[in-house]
Amino acid sequence: MVMELARYLTVEAGGRLMHVSVIDRGFDGYEVVYHYALDHLEKNLHLNIKVSLPEHNPEIESVAKLSPEASWSEREMMELTPVKFINHPDPRHLWLPYEWPNPVEGVDYEFLKDRLDAPPTQKSSNQPSLMPIGPYHPLLIEGAYFRVKLKDEEITDVDVKLGWNHRGIMKLFESRSYSRGVYLAERICGICNVTHTTAYLNAVETLSGIEVPDRAKYIRTLIAELERIHSHLLWLGVAGDLIGFKTLFMLSWKVREKVLDIFEATTGSRRTPAMNVIGGVRKDLAGETIGKIERRLLDLRGEIEGLVKLGYDHPLMRRRLQDIGKLSLSNAISGGAVGPTARASGWKLDIRWSSPYLAYADGYTTWDLITEDGGDVWARTMVRLKEMLVSIDIAKQCLQALKKVGGPIKIEAVDPKNFPYNEALGKTEAPRGELMYYIVSDGTNIPYSVRIRTPSFRNNSLLPKMLKGYALADAPIIIGSIDPCYSCTDRIIVIKDSENPKGRGA
Amino acid sequence: MNLIELIIQATLLTSASFIFGTIYNYEIRKISARLQSRRGPWLLVPKPLRKSLGTTRILQPLYDIIKLLCKETIIPPTARRRLFISAPLFALLCLVASSTIIPIGEYSALSSFDLSLVALLYLLLAVPFTLILGGSVSSSPWGIFGGQREADLMLAYETPIVIGSFTTAIMAGSMSIKEIQVAQTLSLPYLVLNPFAAAAVLLGIIGKLHLKPFDIPEAEVEIVAGPATEYSGKLLGLMEINKMLLTSVCIGLFINLFMAGGAVPGVTLNNSLTVLTYLAEGLIIVAVASLIHTLNPRFRIDQALDWYIKTAALLAAVGLCWAYILRHIYPAISG
Amino acid sequence: MLQNIKKKARAYSPWIFHAHAGGCNNCDIELAACFAPRYDLERMGIQLRNNPRHADILIVTGPVTKQISSSLRRIYDQVPNPKVVVACGSCALTGGVYNRDDGKPNYALAGPPEKLIPIDISVPGCPPKPESIIDGVMLALEILRKK
Amino acid sequence: MKTGLARLAKELLRNSLRPVTANYPAIPEHARPHEPGEEIRGRHRFDVEKCVGCGACQTVCSSGAISVTDSGIERVLRIDLSTCIFCGRCRDICPEEGLQLTPEVPSAQPYGDILKTFKVEHSVDLSSCVGCGRPTYPKKQIETVRMRIISNLDKVNVDSARRDMDIYLKYCLNCRRSLSYIFGTHPRKLY
């Protein structure tokens, strides 16, 4: 039955399957929730299909053949909860460490065989046919593992193993009250922590029916846009480093320091603003700080236009980035790409536009959507560069509005008391793409379960498709072009040990 | 020039070219840092830190080398031990020999022999070989890849250097570096007479010194450190010494062949001031090279190959024809 | 005389290797900011190398997750002596925000780095400001000089 | 195509004239932004008069860095800066503004002396119970609670509240239970 519904939703209605999450209901078994986004039909329209399964050996038909983007979500759920997705195309282990105490039976751990500390073996001629880009590699700031199969320096197949950053964050969420959870949501990813708190608070505030005052909406949007500029500048520097362009790293990080100065002057800390609290914002922006920010935004715009011009006409950069790591529009839609990676393939997908939140709605700010149609690393670079200029416009409009709009910046509720609804979906447009929080509440002030689907989780599943057929020398910049953030990807769900089916896990 | 005097002059030349190498490397780091609007290794350490951090950092490459020589060396068990150790040593021998051939200003130990240019180019070819050998023997996939890339790149950057050097030999009419140097002082320096060959050799030298856009074998992002991945401690110190010597020898080759070995019009060849003008000219060339180093990202190996063939090799060929035209139409110049 | 040249050389050219052990990459970008133009560490001859074989100072960030603990241990063994280990960020000191409130160990973490490798210097802050990281590296220079 | 390189070269040469590197270890203030925000979240500082030692910051701390231990006649509030994530929540929640975050950045320390330098401590003396002598609540906290109750109550039952508080606030929990038996005010009079 689920298959027909899924086929109807994706094929006829053209919806997007965002995530498959499993809620463990203890005695009455498991709930498999399919999150569909239909926000292209009407703004903010989402659909959750719930399927409840019995407690002992729960099984369900896998949707991955129909919509391949669900394969990673289902793999994650299959690996971490006893739910089995029947004839899933690739049911291998993805997140858990190798020597996890009780590996889920019936799955062949191909990775367990060639363990990392085995000496590198070259089977055929001295040309290494199997190249491990291992957990520690200069290309990745964080841990990830790509097993690249090569045929004389051309990539034929890539296999991804993640989970090196898995800190069991969702288990921690389930032991913290909502107001304390904000500071945990902020530490899932160091680069995009404002969007994480915004998404978490979108979900919590819809859950508890709190309406954020207008002034707080503008301040939150301002901080979110400043963070998008900082994140794109950081990516530009790292991408420059990946193609050996040390100067671009230095130039873009010199400009980034200006954005961090704005953060430090207004919110008190360079990289963790901690501005968002439940019901609004922690600190108000006084009159002259708004003037200060406006002056700084002016020369920031000049610097970023310089970087955009540099990106455009540097001959070698264009030659190194053009037509590699191609992702066609059909692959992007079927693979479920999100954020700049999708927009670079010509797909008009932006959460700020399709389901607006905070001050992105029509009444508050007006801005336009940037898309390119090249689909290669060069197009992604251009999308991110132009998006920075759009972000500066939005930040300017927020500052103008802040001068006019008065009113409180926070509703006094430290911890929400009553919960009119028992589940909520909070979504934002993180610098890397669509970020989704799904919070289920059981009436107490501690969430029953929190499911997070981050943009890098989805973009990483597209990497094997992008890397095939290109030279190993291009692998770093192709992997870098989706702006992978493995801290986001490995936030992962709680484990429910099979010995005590009753409790909600260790 | 009897034997003892020759030996003294040779050791003086080697140590001088090593010191020049460290100065050139410091200059590359300092200029590329300054161009990226950061300060780079201090010329003069600020006063409060002078006690703990020393007074100046001009000899920063020297500190790196001494530190590496005092560190523990780890040789991977799966690597072939003897070849792994002998590769940098062999490179050091070749470089010391080639540094004695390069004349600095008026001191020229072995460069006055007849075929010294051929000997020099032959010795300089040995350095990439040891890198390839060291990389592929070190049993790490990155080393093997680094070795292969060094092999591909070597073919690319050796051709312009060799053709450009022989162009100057044709214009000067002799194969010994000393005669080429003297011939230039009589007529104009060959940088002015035959700029094509000069450009070709300079581009070849940038590839040989692994400056961007040609630092493909040491692309730290793709293949951790290329051939030098498994080297550490004393062997890595040896490789750094080789890098210093290689820098000063290559820059010295360019000065002697194209800028009359530091003989500026005011200063004739046979007084000791030429060492200072030699250093000044070297600093200018290194400044140009580090500007190119800062401006460019890294080529992919196939892009680098076809770039070299399209521009550098073409320039060298044009320089060669231009040398023939000069030799037959204006024989007076060749003297 | 030779001894103090060796000590000076060690303190004047420390090479840093950064080992990410599972945190939220905020400390990593602050460490990378130390090499950006504003807090340029190359003034003191410090280079960020990405090969443990070439490194003197090992900077560890993040609470060590179970999966990366074996790799962190191998990275520590690959750095040749004399070496200094700097734990950077409150996650690397005591696990910071990822500790459970009821004192039970977090199932995904193999404890802060001090359980796996000996730590010489600790840099507090979440993320520590580049000034704190530079102070940490300065202290590391002193320890390198004595080792 | 060459214009890109030429423009970049010109810009880089202009950069080289004014490096933006802060001369940090030599001149410490050089690294701060020109006008630092007044509320940079750095090392904590207890305001000795205002802090009553109520322990609200401990319940709210999002990384469990604050520990409140009652030892004998004094209650010690200890903040462990190596666990603290500097989120500023304890300062926002404190009812008496007794805890401030100074802009001073806690700098690196050798591992050995992690105990002494990464600790911010403040001790408040506890009042001992009149009945059995065991320590009860901090003196200052009892004072502020009394003042706050008196100021907020309406006029009618202010003096009866003051009479009760004079008695009950001086006793610890067990003594209060036994007193309520004597006075017969214990709610569950069944047994």
d(CA A455, CA A432): 6
CA distance A243 to chain B (A): 6
- Residue A105: its pLDDT value, please? 53
Chain D hits for A292, CB-CB cut-off 8 Å, are 35
User: How is chain A split into domains, by residue range?
Assistant: 2-95, 176-465
| Within a domain: D184 | yes
**A491: nearest CA partner in chain C:** C24
| Distance in angstroms (rounded) separating the CA atoms of residues A120 and A145 | 15
Query: Quick check: B54 contacting C, CB < 8 Å?
Result: yes
pLDDT of residue B331: 65
Distance CA A148, CA C112 (A): 32
CB within 8 Å: B221 and A241: yes
Between chains, do D37 and A268 touch, taking CB under 8 Å as contact? yes
Side chain identity at residue A212, one-letter code: V
Q: Is residue D55 part of a domain?
A: yes
Q: What is the mean pLDDT of residues B253-261?
A: 87
Instruction: Give me the residue spans of the domains in chain B.
Output: 3-334
Determine the average pLDDT of the residues in B160-173.
Answer: 90
Is the pLDDT at B57 greater than 80, yes or no? Answer: yes
CATH of the domain at C57: 3.40.50.12280
Q: Is residue D8 part of a domain?
A: no
**Residues forming a β-bridge with A31:** A23, A52
What is the pLDDT at residue A505?
Answer: 29
Place of tokens 């607006």: A356
Q: Facing residues of A427 across strands?
A: A436
Does residue D31 form part of some domain? Answer: no
User: How many distinct structural domains can be found in chain C?
Assistant: 1
For residues B183 and B117, give the distance between their C-alpha atoms in angstroms, rounded to a whole number.
15
- Nearest CA-CA distance, residue B290 and chain D, Å: 12
Distances in Å between the Cα of A16 and the Cα atoms of A48, A50, A458, B11 are 12, 16, 12, 74
Cα(B11)–Cα(B100) distance, integer angstroms = 8
Cβ contact, residue pair A269, D41, below 8 Å:
yes
The residues, ordered by sequence, that sit 6+ positions from A53 with a Cβ below 8 Å of its Cβ are: A29, A30, A31, A32, A59, A60, A83
Task: Give domain A2-95's CATH number out of 3.40.190.10, 3.30.460.80, 3.40.50.620, 1.10.1040.10.
Answer: 3.30.460.80
Does the beta-carbon distance from A310 to D60 stay under 8 Å?
Answer: no
Write out A131-155 in H/E/C secondary structure: EEECCCCCCCCCCCEEEEEEECCEE
CA distance D133 to chain A (A): 37
List subunits contacting chain B, requiring 3 or more Cβ pairs under 8 Å.
A, C, D
| D14 within some domain | no
Contact B48 D18 (CB under 8 A): no
> By the CB < 8 Å criterion, does C106 face chain D?
no
Listing DSSP states for A399-413 in one string gives HHHHHH--S-SB-S-
Question: Residues in chain C with pLDDT < 50?
Answer: none
Q: Is the predicted pLDDT of residue B142 greater than 70, yes or no?
A: yes
Q: Comparing C-alpha atoms, which of C89, B319, B233, C70 is closest to residue A136?
A: C70
Does residue D106 fall inside a structural domain? yes
Of C6, C38, C138, the CB nearest to B70: C6
Question: pLDDT tens track of chain D, all 191 residues?
Answer: 567 888 888 888 888 888 888 888 888 777 776 565 567 888 898 888 888 888 888 888 888 889 888 888 888 998 988 888 888 888 888 888 888 888 888 888 888 766 666 888 888 888 888 878 888 888 888 888 888 888 888 888 888 888 888 877 888 888 888 877 777 777 665 55
Tell me the per-residue pLDDT of B180-212, one tens digit each, with 9 for 90 and over.
Answer: 888 888 878 888 888 999 999 999 999 999 998
Closest residue, chain A, to C22 (C-alpha):
A165
Query: Would the CB atoms of D84 and C40 count as touching at under 8 Å?
Result: no
Distance in Å, alpha carbon of B296 to nearest chain A alpha carbon: 6
Per the structure, the complete domain to which residue D153 belongs is given by 44-190
CATH number at residue D73: 3.30.70.20
Q: Per DSSP, what are the bridge partners of residue A439?
A: A424, A450
In whole angstroms, what is the distance from residue B262 CA to residue B274 CA?
A: 6
Q: What is the predicted pLDDT for the residue at D38?
A: 62
Query: In the prediction, which pLDDT does A169 show?
Result: 83
Domain that holds residue C141: 2-146
The residue type of A410 is: K
Q: Which residues of chain A have pLDDT under 70?
A: 97-128, 413-414, 489-506
What ipTM was reported for this prediction?
0.91
* b/e burial code for range A330-367 (CB count within 10 A of at least 16 → b): ebbbebbbbbbbbbbbbbebbbbbbbbbbbbeeebbeb
The CATH classification number of A176-465 equals 1.10.645.10
User: What residues of chain A, 74 to 103, have a C-beta less than 8 Å from chain C?
Assistant: 96-98
Q: What is the pLDDT of residues B18-55, one digit of tens each?
A: 999 999 999 999 999 999 988 888 888 888 888 888 88
Instruction: State how many domains chain D has.
Output: 1
Distance from CA of C78 to the nearest CA of D (A): 22
Burial class (CB in 10 A: 0-12, 13-18, 19+), B68: buried
3-state secondary structure of C109: strand
Of D15, D20, D23, the CB nearest to B46: D23
Cβ neighbors of C35 (< 8 A, separation 6 or more) are C41, C42, C48
The verdict on B302 touching C (C-beta cutoff 8 Å) is: no
The full length of chain B comes to 335
In this predicted structure, what is the pLDDT of residue A236?
A: 93
Q: Which of A167, A173, A193, A456 should one mutate to test binding to chain C, selecting the residue with the greatest count of C CBs within 10 A?
A: A167
Instruction: Return phi, psi of residue A136, to 5°.
Output: -105, 115
Whether residue C43 and residue B236 make contact (CB cut-off 8 A), yes or no, is no
A41 touching B (Cβ < 8 Å): no
pLDDT at B218 over 80: yes
Of A122, A317, A475, the CB nearest to B297: A317
